[in-house]
Structure 1
Amino acid sequence: HRSPYPLTTVQLRLLHLINIQDARMCKTKPARGKGYTAGASCITSVLMNYIEAKVNLDTGAFRTCVGKDYLQAMLPEWRNHLLPIKGVQFSSASNNMYPLGILDTNLVFPHPAGSIRVKTEIVVMDNCTSQHIIFGNDYLNIYGIDINNHKDRYFTIGENKRQKFAFSNMPKQISIVSSKNNDTYKEEFVSNQLVEAQINPSLSPKMRNELINVLYTYNNAFASDNEPLGAIRGHEVDITLNIDRPYPPVLRIPAYPASPRAREPPVDINKS
């Protein structure tokens, strides 16, 4: 029926949208009045200073931050590593947040095909009570981290959409206990040489760690930027070019008759 109130600009535009379809649900619809129960957590496990930490991929947060109490458990000397921050105001909902400084650190997202190290600057808050690191829209945008809410919930980092990371409440969340003892060189080996490796996801964390240790022990068999064919002695590729007969079939094909080269005297390549 006709409304007694004047239509707004947005309502007038909606009147011109004649092809409107209902969105298709990817999951079972909750009972009426229970839609709020369909929410899922975006918390995942990472390594920070070789210590397991919880990170919330919060698309609603403008900046990446962490509370001082949660940070104290992982980095007791965090105050000695802070970068100064001045003249910036922060707020959460209707509450003001009081920054203490900026922590320049690395977060390692574990994955069996190769862990990803994300360099971040985290704002340390004095009155933040969250028991996790809030990974805000600043670094979600910088690193191209996309959250997929289709049939399987996961997130990807960067342009490699085939490397899927699971959340903590998912059965595919990777245990990072075996990653705590990795040194820097092994971490780089997994991130670079094994980035395209497809490791069976049914392997237990212990079996996966043993497999990675074996591959790392014989890491010279893998190609790298400095050794594109590997660095195993005796496996070098020896390529020899010669001008002896018989010539390859491609070189024996006569030139096109109309070509100027066909009118030139043949050159004997055997003469020095």
Structure 2
Amino acid sequence: MYGIYIYNSKNRNITIGTKEEKKFSLDIYQIYTHDPLEELLNEFREGQFSTTLTSKQKHMLLKMVRKNRPAFAIDEEPLGKIRGHDIELYLDVEIPYPPMLRRPPYPESLESRKESEKHINELLEMDVIRKIRHKEIV
């Protein structure tokens, strides 16, 4: 019969099998120190920072990014979401529109159409775009 026995005493002893077979003694020397900057850097490990930033400036920047995470792009929400800061786009061309703007949409293949609809639905779910009625003035 095999088992693992762990004794907590002055030294940490681990026995695998019977007590006579294999006995290991582990001394714990490493003490974990909690460094908040390292934790933040690990969370944003793919980010690149200017070499001119001090350690304190990096820490402040990373805290601000973490606090405002919804505003930044991540894999799950690639465009980010910012509420209350809507923008308005104006066309700088007057009616009658130039021929390029009056062209009918070109036909798409079925595969391309499915992919386009997938992306459009994704943007609708993230509230980046919205559906409008046919003659609605935007």
- Structure 1-normalised TM-score? 0.21
Tell me which of the two structures has the higher relative contact order, counting C-alpha pairs closer than 8 angstroms and 6 or more residues apart: 1
**Greater share of strand:** 1
- Structure 2-normalised TM-score? 0.35
